[in-house]
Amino acid sequence: MNQEAAGIYFDGKSAAPQAVTIVLNTLNGVLQFQTETATVERWLLGELSFENVGTTLQLQKQQPDGIAILKITDSTFAAAILKFRKENKQIGWYEKMLASGMKFHLVLGLVILGLIGLTYVYAIPWVGEKSVALIPESFDDTMSGTFISDNLLFSDVASDKSKVLNAFAKELQLNNKKKLKFIFVEEDIVNAFALPDGTIVVYSGIVDKMQNYDELVALLGHEAAHVNNRHSMKMLCRNLSGYLFISAILGDANGIMATIGDNVNSFQSLSFSREFEQEADREGFAIVVKNKVDPNGMLNLFKRLQDEGDSIIPEFLSSHPVTKQRIATTRQLVKSTPQQVEANSKLQQLFQQLKK
Amino acid sequence: MEENVPSKMHYQLDFKGKGETFFGIVIVNWLLTIVTLGLYYPWAKAKTLQFLFGQTTLNDDAFAFHGTGKEMFKGFLKALLVFAVLFGIMGALTYLGHQGIGILVLYLGIFAIMPLAIHGSYRYRMSRTTWRGIRFGYRGDQAELVKLFFKWVFFTIITLGIYSSWFQMNLRRYVIGNIRFGDAEMNYDGDGGDYLLMNIKGYFLTIFTFGIYSFWWQKEIFEYYVNNLSLHKDDKRIEFTSTASGADFIGLIVINMLLIVFTLGLGYSWVVTRTMKFIFDHIQLDGNIDLNTLHQTEENYKDATGEDVSDFLDMDFIV
Ligand SMILES: [Zn+2]
């Protein structure tokens, strides 16, 4: 069976179009036509590449010195070619997937988006957090070193009061595996933070607000829990892996998508820190109870932070968003945990020295 | 097709690709890239370029991109190697306690690769691009480009960045001036001074109009790109002219943003096809070159390393 149609041929040497008459042999899938130089071309359908441009079917044949092209506008003829290719299984899986229709692609797209979302929310933080185990603790120290030299350079580190603070902490059981070091900074900031290497920085602003030493114990317990759990490293790894994931996914999209992704990532990191805060609260509470200190100090501490409200400067490594929920959770803990409180005159005395 | 050669010829650029078709390609690319943990990326890129080039037409005949995933994969591996070596050197220096020098080496290294990447990616991409089977080509000289590149960088630094405008225009003139389309030559006429004035004007008017002028600024940038392009063959030429207005750009950009945001990024394919269509609908060609007389002159070149280095550096292909 033969079918015939008009076509336009480019020989791959010049851009001059040649009008040709193409004959398709539907038995062996050969296209035959005669060029202007009277050469007879025989093209095997299986060797060609196909592209639909508008309503034109374009066939390309790779030749040793270039690419020859045949354009066909006759739709019946194009359909006959497609029919032959289908019947002879010349259509590869890739082409089939492309031809599977808009609906299928849309479903596939939504599934992929869903999978990416799930991976981002569940798998990536987990991987990031677990990858902390691969990072040697010595790196925590190096990182903290840079942070201290960058951030405390212009701060007023009070060495006398730092000694008192260290003595205060020495009286306590902080469940720490790594040596903790305390720095007292004279600055009116109502905050404290923990660095991964075990350095805990306390500002005079927060101590001045405290009424009783049990509040300071709660603060140190909470910070120690951050260090014990390597929270800042975990957060860094989570953020970094989240960022890497997003940029890998959106890599070839464009600026708009990258910006959206970035914002999503930083939004996500807020809830990371909340989760870590809860853990530090729980463990900090356990430390308070273990040291036979009144856990109500923790509640008072939170109330003072809450009064301070938005004026708390967000810290890079571990800031302390005080929410009503944290207070409620702690109140619940105070109620449900059996506790034994003993007044500690030494802590009281050291605390008074810090307040001076 | 007319046999005699009239003094003024008719040219028509168009982009015929449909968003739905491209959407299928993008989704299948995503799927395969995820399933292969990213290894499919070079093939995905080849498919994308094949579509975008293959749907662009001049006088109803399509351009074509013949680069293959395999070529790009080899380029990808080479680019990876280059970056691994650079990061290795930085790591070693950091380990030895010279972190500052390590980072400096990394930045200088990346910087030094840039002209090589530009050269490589133009050479590769042009040689794999055809129209009616006639290959494009890039005839720039690598050593010359490197020398010029660093000379322009030096001027940019000592003029505190003012020269960057000339840097961009000189680079564009050099690169585009070395593009061949069969036996025809591309040319770019832009000048750093004009470009600087245009951008200063655009910058201030954008501020004064609270951003509204940015669309007209965009229009001028596009116009400056297009209107300085021309194609030459013997004593004949084709001039490029932009017909896009500021209002056209508002339509393009605003709808593109909405498409991305309200489809969670799935509308990306339509953004690309709309933008391609916009670009080619707004370039008018006038001149007297008879396209039928173009002849094959450029060689077949298959090294895709530059292509992927520029990908790693996140450089725009068009300078
Ligand atoms: Zn905390």
* Ligand 1 centroid, distance to A293 Cα (angstroms): 19
Q: Are the CB atoms for A70 and A59 separated by under 8 Å?
A: yes
pTM exceeding 0.80 = no
Which residues in chain A touch residue B300, judged by CB atoms under 8 angstroms apart?
66
- CA distances (Å), B176 to each of B5, B13, B67, B111, in order? 27, 19, 20, 21
* Contacts made by residues B206-212, CB under 8 angstroms, sequence distance 24+: none
Task: Please give the pLDDT value at position A255.
Answer: 47
Q: Closest partner residue to A253 among B23, B31, B268, by Cβ? A: B268
CA separation (Å) from B198 to B191, B195, B207, B239?
A: 11, 5, 14, 21
Of the pLDDT bands very low, low, confident and very high (cuts 50, 70, 90), residue B166 is very high
What are the CA-CA distances from residue A48 to residues A12, A29, A173 (Å)? 14, 11, 78
A267 touches B: beta carbon within 8 Å: no
Q: B312 falls in which pLDDT band (50, 70, 90)? A: low
pLDDT at res. B2: 46
What pLDDT does residue B38 have? 78
Task: Name the one residue in this structure whose structure tokens are 């409180």.
Answer: A341
Residue B116 has pLDDT above 80, yes or no: yes
Residue A35 to residue A17: CA distance in whole angstroms? 10
Angstroms from A213 CA to nearest CA on chain B: 44
Q: Do residue B260 and residue A257 have CB atoms under 8 angstroms apart?
A: yes
Cα B239 from Cα B226, distance rounded (Å): 9
Q: What is the pLDDT of residues B9-21, one digit of tens each?
A: 889 999 999 998 9
Give the gap in angstroms from C-alpha A71 to the nearest C-alpha of chain B: 9
Q: How far is B158 from chain A (nearest CA, A)?
A: 30
ipTM for the predicted complex: 0.75
Cα A283 to averaged position of ligand 1 atoms, centre (Å): 11
Environment class of residue A37 by beta-carbon count within 10 Å: exposed (0-12), middle (13-18) or buried (19+)? exposed
Cβ distance B295 to A11 less than 8 Å, yes or no, reads no
Size of the A and B interface in Cβ pairs below 8 Å: 108
Nearest chain B alpha carbon to A102: B20
| CB-based contact, A107 to chain B, within 8 Å | no
Q: Locate A326 and state its tokens.
A: 């944290």
Backbone angles phi, psi at A44, to 5 degrees: -85, 125
Whether the per-residue pLDDT at B62 is higher than 80: the answer is yes
| Residue B102 pLDDT level (bands cut at 50, 70, 90) | confident
- Give the nearest partner residue to A112 out of B16, B31, B295, using CB atoms: B31
A16 vs B292: CB contact, 8 Å cut-off?
yes
Question: Which residues from chain B sit within 8 angstroms of residue A99, using beta carbons?
Answer: 24
pLDDT tens, B239-278? 999 999 999 999 999 999 898 888 877 888 899 999 999 9
pLDDT tens across B181-214, in order?
988 999 999 899 999 999 999 999 998 988 889 8
Helix/strand/coil (H, E, C) string of A286-321?
Answer: HHHHHCCCCCHHHHHHHHHHHHHHHHCCCCCCCCCC
Sign of CA dihedral B172, B177, B182, B184: positive
For A326, the enclosing helix (H) or strand (E) is helix A324-336
CB–CB contact B133 A68 (8 Å): yes
pLDDT along chain A (356 residues), means of 10: 85 87 86 87 87 87 84 88 85 84 88 84 81 76 66 72 91 88 87 82 88 92 89 76 69 50 53 75 92 91 73 42 76 88 89 86
Q: How far is A265 from chain B (nearest CA, A)?
A: 15
Residues of B with Cβ-Cβ distance to A10 under 8 angstroms: 61, 132-133
Cβ separation B27–A112 shorter than 8 A: yes
Domains and CATH numbers, chain A: 2-98 (2.30.29.30), 130-355 (no CATH)
Q: How far is CA A255 from CA A7, A39, A297, in A?
A: 43, 52, 49
